Chain A
Amino acid sequence: MSNEKSDLPTQLPAAFADLQPFAAEWALPSEQARYLKLHAVTLDQLRTFYEAVFPRIDAIVAHLNQYQRGQLPAEAMALYNLALTFTETSHPIDLRWRDVDFDDAYNWRAFGFVGPSATQTES
């Protein structure tokens, strides 16, 4: 597997200490890992994460954009991964789904991730 959790940065920049309690669980490296997380939580758990990150998006983008692409230090990388998990799991809350998935969707377990969707998303 490409998602070696042990190597993952989870320490956020000091300005984002309020989000630190979410980092170990939600600062995930790949689209695949974030998708699997989405399908492993309840809608209430997802909402708690969403409501913590949503008001901080402007500050997160401002922080990340201090850096050139590909040049994020470890703490900014952890913040980037956390923000990616937010953006990639926000749709069930935004679209007011009744669950983390919806009726009539193609079986989520059969959906396959390869290439850039299976590895650390480049910053």
Chain B
Amino acid sequence: MGTDSITIFRGETAHLSNRVPVAPRLTKEFYEQEVAGIFRGGAWVSIASVQDFKEPGSYKVIELPTFKTSVLAVRGEDGELRVFHNVCRHRGDKLVHGGSGCKLRFTCGFHGWRYGANGELLSITDDTQFRGFKREEHGLLPVDSGVWQDLLYINLSKEHGTLEEWMGPLWNQYVNYGQGIEKVSEYRMVLRTNWNLAVNAFCEGYHNLFIHKNTVPDYQGGKGNPMRHRAYLEVGPHFGRYSAHGNQNHKATPAEAAVYAHGDKLFPWFPKTDPGALPQGMNPSHFPEWAFDIVHLFPNCVFNPQAHGYQYLWFWPIDADHTEIRVEAFFRKAPNPGARLAQAYSKVRLREVLREDLATMEAAHAAISSQALPYIVLSQQEMLIQNHYAAANRMLQAKGFNPPTLPSTVDPEWSAGVAAQ
């Protein structure tokens, strides 16, 4: 394997398996292990773009179904972005009931307790009736948080390392990718599927030749690459990423050509761009016919950088059978209203591609839950999925759990060859 492909493989692959028994991973019991061993077992999870917190007082309530909790993220007067449990210290009412906005004081609707944007309890009502009460001991409860470039992360595990350790080699490779960017779209939906299957659907490009024929029939591939193999594919401890091959013979549809005539060519049209102008981590192999990267930020986020913007897809497990999917798309700030029209065209093509992807995962969940399938089989092009399960297994095993595995059928010499690169 490997000689019949354009793909450059990188990373430690010896521990991966191309056969994964998925059905046992869809049970309620296994899901509880995943929450304990992964989400509360040390993982840093991203929850929002920092674009949502532009100025002092910018706040957003973020519901986290996986943790059965709600957090309040807010930028303080000192410029610091903090995350708190969204709960009043008095009797546990939800402090801010939802949404986002800009304010520096938060008042609980239940009894009027008032907090500052730095979490400090500023005042309580009828204070003479709280005997021996110390205001300074009852600020909002902080959540461990950190920022990686454009992403706000939290960690709800009792014991964990730093965000920098968690990000590993990605930490320094995407400097300033979120500069000069604005959000153009945001979608949410709850699907009847397990979160693993939802993440997996966005971590391989093998499907695009088949699934995306209605929306973007010719956006990927090119001469000598009929199966649209990834140009570059890398796996790491908490990430996997690949580069897609942009078809240089893409035929723009009439409206696409018309709205892109006056500015940048955007998705699904990928003219050659200078790889040296991008952050180091984007198009890591400097593939000349680059379309975009898919970066799986384990466990539950997929980051999709392109030359003119990026998307995040978050997959929030609700239970073993339901996942809330949140999608946000960003473009470089448009110079004029005409460029906004071009971006609107692109975001809708992306949205319709997304609707094709979403159509697969409920059926797969139902089919795999039937227990008929002993394991799923994964190609080399689906290595990010192999890596997802390996990363999960490593964390689960560290907590004493015993996730189901099957040995790989990939020749160990192949993995040794990749490791030697």
Contact = CB atoms under 8 A, between A and B. Distances in A.
Interface in B254-270: 254-256, 258-259, 261-262
B359 A112 contact: no
A43 interface: no
B186 A95 contact: no
Interface residues of A, number: 45
B341 A84 contact: yes
Contacts of B358: 106, 111
B187 interface: yes
Contacts of A102: 214-215
Contacts of A111: 187, 189, 355, 358
B338 A87 contact: no
B345 A87 contact: yes
Nearest to B336: A65
A105 B359 CA distance: 6
B189 A94 contact: no
B185 interface: yes
A105 B335 CA distance: 34
Given A69-B334, A69-B337, A123-B340, A90 B345 contact: yes
A111 to B, nearest CB: 6
Interface in B70-120: none
Given A91-B349, A94-B253, A65 B359 contact: no
Interface string A12-46: 00000000000000000001000000000000000
B322 to A, nearest CB: 13
Contact of A72 (B183, B337, B344, B357): B337
A61 B352 contact: no
A78 interface: no
Interface string B332-367: 001111101110110111001011111100000000
A95 B214 contact: yes
Contact of B214 (A65, A80, A104, A114): A104
Given A69-B334, A95-B215, A123-B337, A105 B344 contact: no
A76 B337 CA distance: 10
Given A57-B259, A105-B352, A95 B340 contact: no
Interface of A: 31, 50, 54, 57-58, 60-62, 64-65, 67-69, 72, 76, 80, 83-84, 86-88, 90-91, 93-95, 97, 102-106, 108, 110-118, 121-123
5 contacts: A50-B255, A54-B255, A64-B336, A83-B341, A106-B356
